[in-house]
């Protein structure tokens, strides 16, 4: 087994493969991703000053919810994932909608060796907490983006509030996602992620929190609170 292949948790791959058929059901097991996708898309589009014509890589694309949305904005999108079952769903949905996305079953580390500095934008959303070595993924994302290009990471903070909201509430009380979706020890504090990104040559431009507003029953973005879910916006020097 090569070094790049080792940064895969087969348990995680199997977990998402088992529920791959539900990727595009907005009321199913990926309902939270459908709910937050418009926020993620508009955030990325705003920070990139438009997406049309840009070459974008979506790392850990799953069933293609974000990747297809980016492509629909006129970007040239490549989506990669190590769960072939999820990619099959993504490819089928792309054929149905006519929104073209280049999907590949390849690790981000392998692609970084093949295509360094090839993308204007790299997104890696809700993926770092599912791999054994997130630093390896972050480093690969830095290698893949062009100088001056932007990289977006989203993950969960590691603290008591994030445990209660991201695992206890989301998985067991509200049942937004399947039980066992997250492992608390793999959550990353913003300070940790910023440090790893800096070591990889990525300058952090902003950290923005993603919150659920119970009064309006909707997700919102706020740069004042990164206690649970958050998005890190980086730029390659």
The binding site comprises 40, 60, 81, 125
Angle among Cα 19, 86, 228 to the nearest 5 degrees reads 70
Residue 211 has which token pair?
A: 């919150």
Distance of CA 34 to the CA centre of its chain: 13
Do 203 and 133 form a contact (C-beta atoms < 8 A)? no
Q: What are the binding residues for S-adenosyl-L-methionine?
A: 40, 60, 81, 125
Coil, strand or helix: which one is 38?
helix
Write the CB contacts of 9 (distance below 8 Å, at least 6 apart in sequence): 130, 131, 132
As a whole number of angstroms, the distance between CA 97 and CA 230 comes to 30
Beta bridge partners of 234: 151, 204
CB within 8 Å of 16: residues ≥ 6 apart: 62, 83, 85, 86
Q: Shortest CA distance to 130 belongs to which of 89, 78, 185? A: 185
Q: Hey, how many other C-beta atoms are within 10 angstroms of the C-beta on 201? A: 15
According to DSSP, the β-strands at 202-213 and 218-222 are antiparallel
Round to whole Å and give the CA distance between 58 and 121.
9
Report yes or no: 48 and 75 within 8 Å, Cβ to Cβ.
no
């Amino acid at each position: 087994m090569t070094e790049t292949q080792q940064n895969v948790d087969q348990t995680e791959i199997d977990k998402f493969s088992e529920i791959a058929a539900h990727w595009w059901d907005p009321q199913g097991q990926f309902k939270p991703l459908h709910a937050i996708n418009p926020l993620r898309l508009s955030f990325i589009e705003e920070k990139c000053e438009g997406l049309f014509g840009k070459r974008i890589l979506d790392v850990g694309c799953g069933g293609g919810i974000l990747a297809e949305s980016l492509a629909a904005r006129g970007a040239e999108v490549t989506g990669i994932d190590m769960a072939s079952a999820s990619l099959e769903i993504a490819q089928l949905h792309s054929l149905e909608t006519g929104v073209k996305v280049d999907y590949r079953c390849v690790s981000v580390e392998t692609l970084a060796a093949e295509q360094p500095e090839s993308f204007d934008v790299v997104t890696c959303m809700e993926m770092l907490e599912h791999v054994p070595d997130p630093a390896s993924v972050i480093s690969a994302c830095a290698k893949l983006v062009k100088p001056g290009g932007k990289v977006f990471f989203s993950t969960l903070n590691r603290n008591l509030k994030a445990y209660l909201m991201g695992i206890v509430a989301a998985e067991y009380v509200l049942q937004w996602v399947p039980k066992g979706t997250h492992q608390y020890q793999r959550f990353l504090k913003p300070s940790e992620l910023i440090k790893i990104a800096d070591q990889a040559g990525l300058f952090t431009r902003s950290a923005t929190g993603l919150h659920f507003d119970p009064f309006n029953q909707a997700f919102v973005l706020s740069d004042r609170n990164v206690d649970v879910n958050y998005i890190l916006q980086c730029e390659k020097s």
